[in-house]
Amino acid sequence: MNNIDISVVIPLYNEEESLPELIEWIRKVMHRNEYRYEIILVDDGSTDDSWDVITRISEGNSDIVALQFNRNYGKAAGLHVGFNESKGKVVITMDADLQDSPDEIPELYKMITEEKYDLVSGWKKKRYDNAFTKNLPSKIYNTATSWMSGVKLHDMNCGLKAYRSKVVKSVELYGEMHRYIPVIAKWHGFRKIGEKVVEHRPRKYGVSKFGIERFLYGFLDLLSITFVTKFKKRPMHFFGAWGMMMFLFGFTITAWLTGQKFFLSKMGIMPHRDVVDQPLFYLALVAVIVGIQMFLTGYIAELVNADSNKKTDYLISNKIGND
């Protein structure tokens, strides 16, 4: 029987300075509220002494579960592994840089357990980031994502989130898809998604690991996750439908041009151009070829999808706890 109330999942990369303070802060919050908890730290191939710090922090404490990747895989990989390890009824994620406040945990926990949300996303309404390089692009990104996905959140990429356990066990993360967990959750049938205004703290140690380019990648990932989520189980529905429309468009034009030439010839109406002398014929020919190619692409994608192994393996070099 599961007796853990909260699993705190923290992916990290080169955060040796902030880790002791963060873990101590989380422990104080948990003990004050008498939660049964675990802290899952996923070291995403740090090149500093983060793993040594984790080892030291975990000595003599059973509340720490830690995993170390052999190399840097990205935040989505860290969350994916952390979610798989989690045993809590509620899973809370946060960044390791102390910009997320553990004091938000009790309220987030109540929103999941008492208000019955499936997922609650933090909203850093007042930010301490650079207004031009982060705040403005973030607003544009969140507006576009909400419009395209139908998930109305002000801060989609906030690292501080709370989940019902069955949500994190259902979503599949890869690449940079951690930005779109609320979107993926919605498409998996988890409809009760809320948000809470949370404290955003100035960075105390180190520098940000993300640049402005993440917003460009974010939009590309949004297009990718929209397509993959809708059509990964049925690629023929996308490629086949467009392929058939293109083929029928080209075939119809070709038939019309051929019929027109035959009719004009029979009626003795002169002058008339040969079919191959008309630019519209080449447009139709291109449409037919593209249509056939898209249909075949959908067919091949169906075959690949049927045989694909969706399990993603990450090389874990060290592990502490939860054996």
CATH code, domain with 128: 3.90.550.10
The answer to the question of residue 91 being in a domain is yes
Phi, psi (rounded to 5 degrees) for 100: -100, 135
The answer to the question of residue 163 being in a domain is yes
Q: Are residues 210 and 267 in the same domain?
A: no
- In the predicted structure, residue 238 carries a pLDDT above the cut 50: yes
Q: Are residues 14 and 62 in the same domain?
A: yes
Q: Are residues 66 and 172 in the same domain?
A: yes
Q: In whole angstroms, what separates CA 4 from the centre of its chain?
A: 26
- Ramachandran assignment for 189, one of left (phi > 0), alpha (psi -120 to 50 degrees), beta (any other): left
User: Domain limits at 248?
Assistant: 235-305
Q: Are residues 148 and 296 in the same domain?
A: no
CA–CA separation, 107 vs 42, rounded Å? 24
Q: Are residues 213 and 244 in the same domain?
A: no
Phi, psi (rounded to 5 degrees) for 67: -130, 140
Q: What is the DSSP letter of 200?
A: B
Q: Are residues 158 and 208 in the same domain?
A: yes
Q: Are residues 196 and 251 in the same domain?
A: no
Crossing angle for the helix pair 213-231 and 235-267, nearest 10 degrees?
Answer: 80
The answer to the question of residue 14 being in a domain is yes
CA–CA separation, 51 vs 35, rounded Å? 26
Q: Pick the residue with more confidence: 163 or 220?
A: 163
- Among 231, 260, 282, which residue terminates a domain? 231
* Residue 173 CB partners (closer than 8 Å, separation 6+): 76, 77, 79, 80, 83, 181, 184
- Report pLDDT for 258: 81
Residue 133 CB coordination number (10 Å):
13
Beta partners for residue 200, in sequence order:
100
Q: Which pLDDT tens digit goes with each residue over 65-119? A: 999 999 998 898 999 999 999 999 999 999 999 999 999 999 999 999 999 999 9
Q: Are residues 134 and 10 in the same domain?
A: yes
The answer to the question of residue 25 being in a domain is yes
- In the predicted structure, residue 58 carries a pLDDT above the cut 50: yes
Q: Are residues 99 and 244 in the same domain?
A: no
Q: Are residues 73 and 207 in the same domain?
A: yes
Listed in sequence order, the DSSP H helices in the chain are 19-32, 50-58, 75-85, 105-113, 136-149, 165-168, 181-187, 213-231, 235-267, 279-307
Q: Are residues 59 and 185 in the same domain?
A: yes
Give the number of domains in the chain.
2
The answer to the question of residue 315 being in a domain is no
Structure tokens at 185: 């959750």
pLDDT category of residue 206 using cuts at 50, 70 and 90: low
The answer to the question of residue 74 being in a domain is yes
Q: Are residues 176 and 270 in the same domain?
A: no
pTM of this structure: 0.72
